[in-house]
């Protein structure tokens, strides 16, 4: 029995189509990861699954029953679902009370609450933080409290919107461990979004690529992105995915030859064939070459401009067959007076380069 089935889901905001005919099925106990750039519609999709938003058309089945978005009392169904937002929202109370809150909302036994909260805080490695005010925590700790809030009720389905965006590597690995642990131990079905495709490789049973509101590919990570040694099957499925040969430099970084004489410097240490991903929002676009600490600069020409509402997405061609997608705000776009054919420079840090 599938836990979640999405059928021809569309969502429109004042004339703008955010989701276009999205369909997929997530099986019971599966970790399903939606990857895609900012503005692809990932957040909207999760918000619809959590009943915070109504779809414009299409249906969602939860345990084979269609979700009634017009129901007055949505709490019954929401209580089976745990949700973690990208922007952490905690309550101005202690860490303990924050994690106890979902149980109190469900009017659970006081004795049971203490036990569950303690177990969950241990799981996210925040034991000892019980009495601290939640608003005084660091970003990573706060996000782990938010995850504990979602897990404390042992939900059937866990939704996470970019749970590790803006977290330092230590917190990222704790969060990833927690997610694989509860999926393994409690068989919780997980649907999460990320713009780091290599997180998808670590966690996902299956991956879906969401781009401009459309599902462009669904399958295992290998099926969608291919193995590093093979040519990437869906090269165009995600922006700024390159594949090349990496060697370690004297400084301890890596230089990856992606062909056409183009080399990308990255902070990881790897030798051999690798897949690279540079998130579009990590790239700085400029009219003149930048004198900066960022290790990667390429000269190119704008080939394509797409309007994404408050941001503009530009395709910058840097070689005969190589181009980067860059995401900038509409305001910068207008101020820089860019056009198709404009000569520009793109710059990004070695630490912005992700790999498998």
Partner 1 sequence: MIESAFWDEIWNITLLSLRVSGTAVLIGALIGVPIGTILGFRQFKGKRTLTRFVDIMLKSVINTFMGLPPVVVGLVVYLLFTASGPFGWLGLLYTPTAMIITQLIMVVPIIIGVTMSAVGSVEKAIRERALSLGATETQAAWLVLREARMGVLTSIIVAFGAAISEVGGIMITGGNIRWWTRTLTTAIVVETELGNFAMALTLGAILLSMAFIINLALTIVQLKGARR
Q: Where along the sequence are the contacts to partner 1 (CB under 8 A)?
A: 50, 52, 73-75, 78-79, 81, 83, 85, 87, 89, 91-92, 101-102, 105-106, 135, 149-150, 153
CB of 73: closest distance to partner 1 in angstroms?
Answer: 7
Pick the closer one to partner 1 by CB: 93 or 229.
93
Q: Which is nearer to partner 1, 98 or 211 (CB)?
A: 98
Query: CB count, 10 Å around CB of 157?
Result: 21
From the CB of 112, what's the least distance to partner 1, in Å? 15
Nearer to partner 1, 89 or 320 (CB): 89
* Nearer of residues 289 and 309 to partner 1, judged by Cβ: 309
Q: Which is nearer to partner 1, 150 or 326 (CB)?
A: 150
On whether the CB atoms of residues 163 and 147 are closer than 8 A, the answer is: yes
In degrees and rounded to multiples of 5, residue 41 shows phi and psi of: 110, 10
Residues 6+ apart with CB under 8 A from 184: none
Q: Per the structure block, which two tokens stand in for 3?
A: 């836990």
Among 288, 281, 285, 289, smallest CA distance to 346 is for 285
Q: Which is closer to partner 1, CB of 182 or CB of 207?
A: 182
Nearer to partner 1, 105 or 340 (CB): 105
Supply the minimum distance, in Å, between the C-beta of residue 142 and partner 1: 8
Nearer to partner 1, 99 or 210 (CB): 99
Shortest distance, position 92 Cβ to partner 1, whole Å: 6
Q: Which is nearer to partner 1, 101 or 308 (CB)?
A: 101
Q: Which two structure tokens, joined as six digits, stand for 72?
A: 């007055």
Least gap, CB of 69 to partner 1 (angstroms) = 14
CA distance 315 to 324: 6
CA angle 114, 118, 122 (to 5 degrees): 175
**Shortest distance in whole angstroms from residue 99 CB to partner 1:** 10
What's the min distance (Å) between Cβ of 78 and partner 1?
5
Name the token pair of 278.
Answer: 């540079």
Q: Which residues of 108-122 are buried (b: 16+ CB within 10 A; e: fewer)?
A: eeeeebeebbeebbe
Name which of 153 and 296 has its Cβ closer to partner 1.
Answer: 153
CB 229: neighbour CB atoms within 10 A? 10
- Rounded CA gap, 206 and 200, in Å? 8
In the complex, least distance from residue 40 CB atom to partner 1, rounded to whole angstroms = 21
List the one residue out of 246, 243, 262 whose CA is nearest residue 316: 262
Sort strands 2-13 and 16-27 into parallel, antiparallel or unpaired: antiparallel
Question: Any residues with CB less than 8 A from the CB of 314 and at least 6 apart, and which?
Answer: 285, 302, 304, 305, 306, 325, 326, 327, 328, 333, 338, 344
Query: Which tokens is 120 given?
Result: 């969950």
Max Cα–Cα distance, the chain, nearest Å: 67
> H or E stretch including 130?
none
Question: Shortest distance, CB of residue 44 to partner 1, whole angstroms?
Answer: 13
- Residue 296: CB minimum distance to partner 1, A: 32
């Amino acid at each position: 029995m599938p836990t979640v089935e999405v059928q021809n889901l569309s969502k429109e905001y004042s004339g703008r189509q955010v989701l276009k005919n999205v369909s997929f099925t997530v099986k019971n106990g599966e970790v399903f990861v939606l990857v895609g750039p900012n503005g692809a519609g990932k957040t909207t999709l999760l918000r619809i699954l959590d009943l915070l938003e109504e779809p414009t058309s299409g249906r969602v089945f939860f345990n084979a029953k269609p979700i009634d978005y017009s129901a007055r009392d949505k709490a019954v169904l929401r209580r089976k679902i745990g949700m973690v937002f990208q922007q952490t929202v905690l309550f101005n109370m202690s860490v303990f009370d924050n994690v106890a809150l979902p149980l109190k909302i469900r009017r659970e036994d006081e004795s049971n609450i203490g036990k569950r909260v303690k177990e969950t805080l241990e799981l996210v490695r925040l034991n000892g933080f019980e009495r601290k005010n939640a608003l005084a925590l660091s970003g990573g700790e706060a996000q782990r409290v938010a995850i504990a809030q979602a897990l404390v009720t042992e939900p059937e389905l866990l939704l996470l919107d970019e749970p590790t965006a803006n977290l330092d590597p230590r917190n990222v690995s704790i969060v990833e461990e927690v997610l694989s642990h509860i999926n393994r131990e409690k068989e919780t079905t997980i649907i999460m979004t990320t713009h780091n495709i290599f997180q998808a490789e670590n966690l996902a049973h299956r991956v879906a690529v969401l781009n401009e509101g459309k599902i462009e590919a669904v399958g295992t990570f290998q099926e969608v992105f291919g193995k590093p040694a093979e040519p990437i099957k869906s090269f165009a499925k995600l922006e700024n995915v390159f594949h090349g040969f990496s060697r370690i430099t004297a400084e301890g970084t890596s230089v990856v030859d992606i062909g056409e004489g183009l080399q990308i410097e990255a902070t990881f240490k790897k030798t051999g064939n690798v897949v690279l991903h540079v998130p579009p929002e990590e790239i700085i676009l400029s009219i003149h070459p930048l004198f900066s600490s960022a290790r990667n600069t390429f000269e190119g020409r704008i080939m394509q401009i797409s309007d994404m509402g408050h941001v503009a997405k530009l395709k910058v061609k840097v070689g005969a067959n190589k181009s980067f997608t860059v995401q900038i705000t509409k305001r910068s776009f207008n101020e820089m007076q860019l056009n198709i054919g404009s000569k520009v420079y793109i710059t990004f840090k070695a630490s912005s380069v992700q790999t498998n």
